[in-house]
Amino acid sequence: MPVITIEASALSHEVKEKLAKEVTDAASEITNIPKDAFVVILKENAFENMAQGGVLLSERLKNH
């Protein structure tokens, strides 16, 4: 059972559905493994729990 994990900030329900479907479709086509075998895990992370270049994303967004 292949597992695909996607980590992002908050996603709408519609975006989650589209990601799950399209990532599964692409992975199945590329690997020739049936779609039903794939598990997609969507992990949402708050900006205060992510950093880039040593700076929290919540702080970076305040400056833009």
Mean of per-residue pLDDT scores for the chain: 95
Residue-level pLDDT at 6: 97
Yes or no: say if 11 and 42 are a contact pair by the CB < 8 Å rule: yes
pTM for the structure as a whole: 0.81
Residue-level pLDDT at 51: 93
- The span from the CA of 34 to the CA of 40, in Å, is 14
Topology adopted by domain 3-62: Macrophage Migration Inhibitory Factor (3.30.429)
Task: Name the stretches of the chain with pLDDT < 50.
Answer: none
Residue-level pLDDT at 5: 98
Distances (CA, A) of 23 to 12, 16, 30, 57: 16, 10, 11, 26
Residue-level pLDDT at 64: 72
